[in-house]
Structure 1
Amino acid sequence: MSDRHDTTTLRIAVAQLNPTVGDVTGNLAKAREARADAARQGADLLLLTELFISGYPPEDLVLKPAFLKACRRAVEALAQDTADGGPGVIIGFPRQDETGRYNAVAVLDGGAIQAVRDKVDLPNYGEFDEKRVFDQGAMPGPVNFRGIRLGIPICEDIWGDLGVCETLAESGAEILLSPNGSPYYRGKVDVRHQMALKQVIETGLPLLYANQLGGQDELVFDGASFAINADKSLAFQMSQFEEAVSVTTWKKNGRNGTGTQDGDGEGWRCIDGPMSLIPEREEADYRACLLGFRDYVNKNSFRNVVLGLSGGIDSALCAAIAVDALGEERVRCVMLPYRYTSQDSLTDAAACAKALGCHYDIVPIEDPVRGFMTALSEMFEGTEEGITEENLQSRTRGTILMAISNKFGSMVVTTGNKSEMSVGYATLYGDMNGGFNPIKDLYKMQVYALSRWRNANVPAGALGPSGEVIPVNIIDKAPSAELRPNQTDQDSLPPYPALDDILECLVELEMGTEEIVARGHDVATVHRIEHLLYIAEYKRRQSAPGVKITKKNFGRDRRYPITNRFRDR
């Protein structure tokens, strides 16, 4: 291990980067690039995030011995790099030995792996199921890095109740460095700050929280790495939704150190680091959708995307997110009009595509729908027209979009919001067709809020234009599927503010129907929405993945049975 004479100053480079699950070679290259950056900035130590070399979460990939061996080889190669006397490295990787398979970190310095620590507290709730693939690590002690004792609790080790941080403090750790893979949901940064503060109070040690960045399937890792000093003050705050390698300076106070400004207390204190503003509410949600969508498309190597632009709010917001994520030249919007499509919708869709600058086509569906009707006319003779015929319009659109996808290699963007997906107000193999849905976890009123926000703002890193990109008429008019004359969503559903509140109570909060009625909702409506929520489970099980924004998204978080006769009444 490298000689170190000054044990009163430590410069830690925090790497908030965007690894790709399974891309061991690419992730190693990212780690090396970050280490070179850290060296240029004079860092002693580079801190990377949880399971960085494999990408997080690797899920069942870690059951593959060849994958684990590739990860190990990459960590060993990075360890050899540290023989140059530059920064040491802390990096997360999945490791296997004769005792089990672990979510681990390696401490690299002086050309070798100097120490390994395993995650103790394996989360098994919500989007996490680590107990499925990892074994519980032993309670860790601190790692000696160049004369400084570092405690390295891995993610859930600071969130759970197993006392990992207290054990590290009791066994002599001087600083807690926590590599994390913590996904976004609205308000999560404050939750992390409170959790870290709790550990700082309990241990009396400063805590550095390094978080992964980037989209991985439904999850978005938002970065926003930070540290809290032992005096409970926020020491630094890195940006949210942006890659960065930031060097932070730590000083040791007390007998052998420089002393503190107020003259009290021994131990380490972060005296220098970035202090970024964290976006709030609509901006944060929009940027999460943007990052999750961009990474899904790019990491899965889609050249471009196509979506049906109906003239409604959902597809307009999806188009804006797509252009912001990928650039106008990679987005194709298609209007698929039928006899019930209003002139307003035709005008609004064209205006939206023009404002965004993306490719726009019109493909009428009158002939293919008539073809389906003709083919089924004998079988359907004597029956009344209704939902079946409406769904045929939606399925025709879905088929055409999939044909465009096949022909040009474009991923179909699906555009249903959480309110619709909750109650089954969507057509299997129709408007549910597609590869990914950027607004899947946004309720309808949130869709409106994000649309208004985007018209007034351009998010950092967006490739789309400024100004009004979603025509105001789309935001102001009554929403409609336009599958029959004079149809509006509110013919079939309660007003969206009421619907969204009922759904949030049922889905996010798991409230009983009596509690929901007590909030001022009609009892019959609450019972009907609960029924619709349960019977739409089979549809949701077949829906495209989409960005997680709320505490409880469909799929990873909320896993209800399809066959289910329970009703709360």
Structure 2
Amino acid sequence: MFGFYRLAAAVPVIRVADVEFNLSQMLECYREACVKQAAAVVFPELSVTGYSCGDLFFQERLLERAESAAAGFAKATAGQGTVAIFGFPLKFGEGIYNVAAVAQNGMIRGLVPKSLLPNYREFYEKRHFRSGAKVAGELVRIDRRPVPFGSDLWFDGGRGFRFAVELCEDLWGVRPPSSGLALAGARAIFNLSAGTELASKAAYRRDLVKQQSARCLAAYVLASAGVHESTSDVVFGGHALIADNGRLAAENRRFDRGNSVIYADVDFGRLGAARCSESSFNDNEPLDRVYRRVELEEAAGSPDLEFAYNPPRPFVPEGAADRRERCLEIFDIQCAGLAKRIEHTHAKTMVIGISGGLDSTLALLVAAECCKLLGRPASDIAAFTMPGFGTTGRTYNNAVKLCKLLGVTLREVDIRPACLRHFEDIGHDPAVLDTAYENVQARERTQILMDVANKSGGMVVGTGDLSEIALGWSTYNGDHMSMYAVNCSIPKTLIRFLIETTAERAEPELAAVLRDVIDTPVSPELLPAAEDGTINQKTEDLIGPYELHDFFLYHFIKYGAEPEKIRFLAEAAFEGSYPAELIDRTLATFLRRFFQQQFKRNCIPDGPKVGTISLSPRGDWRMPADASFAAWR
């Protein structure tokens, strides 16, 4: 379903060396994963026998029963699409290998041996097992069927569902096998583990899983042996983790005494897109070995997004603490960028147009902090409020209060007389409230700011944000232009939180003004106000909610998602908030405007990049202004 696959990690109850009991518990977990329509479920290392059998691994009876149980588990997968990945000890040649079996629809499809064998402190695996690092191109007979055997295997379930397997210590090595397997094409790595629990070890294990998933641009699914392993000298915690390209997608509660299964719906299409455009993934050294592709039956996609990460505000961290930390960091980046530009140009003033809206408020806050960084007085900021035909008392008063509380130099220029004169010059009837009526005001304001900057040896600080740049929601050579644009890579949905973070640290009077700015409807205020003096021209009534536009922008730019997938994700993320018809209409507006307004982006001013998405024509986004959007309609 649009590239999503449900991945699972199971930690069953086991009895050390009791193969029949272990098989029954594993099958119970497997059946649950099948009911949940998981594409694949991974079990802990040596789950058929238990990891802590010690010298019992040398017993022929245990080895024979383990192999028989492995074949039995594989047969139990008949008629099911869910892949089972589980561990058992395999005798091959004159040695014993710690292997992972990949089973689907009644058969073992491949056997992957563990490459790195820990032999330090509490671990002594080399006593029992041989390393499979150099095993490649082999076949093993299981239940009279030849099965590919080697550390050179990866598995292909069709439509981008490609995965590989490594075992426990493999992940902890200097060069984990998963790195090469990811380069070979695996988009998910399943790890069968038996890590002991020590104080703080779980946090390190979690970081390893997250980091390796990020480094490989892959999903990483780990299931570790549980508390029913032998406790002679160590305790096992049954840690299960699923990471998705650096993000922790699911984690169980350790030390659980019953069977447990965790799930995550992972977008394999997104992983593939990220490998194409988000990193130097494809510039790595050529693979130092040949990998074998094992073709599986086509895996079923996720039935829904029950276990997916699909936030309605992808630019905004969900947790309050994370959000605050992110906002403070972004604010620092903005201030550092502006400070460098002011130093380099020796600008005497920072000239800003203040409307009482979100964007200009954030830009003014950045400029005020920049003055502190440079040891300059706030009065070096020349803030202009320029009332026009649509300016309301609410925005005007907030602009004035804000400037006074921050101690900047405030000037007011009523643009209406100049605009009326300009209407006369170009032969425009001011009663006709068309695009010319609106844009005359925007360009008059920009002209004032630019000329004042020239007069005072200053620099115009731009206020436009990423959402407006994406939609072309600005007047060409009006608010579209400045000398340095501090908000250019910040979406509208995030700006509110940036201002709120400042409000949390501000004096009560300033905080009150900032919060009223946050609550004010977004508007260019270029059309006359309503009869009661309130804002009549509300942007989101015209083009759709910015929440939706930012959601579309994120998935379209970052992962190249097609419109049908974006629509599907939006309907899931905004269920109960916006009707499908509004989502569909707003998406059509986004796509049309994004393509048609590229010409504005091709000449935007410099500004700091603060996140992974930017539309600067000098860096992140290069697109011909005349590209057709027919294929995206």
TM-score w.r.t. length of structure 1: 0.49
Quick check: which has more Rg, 1 or 2? 2
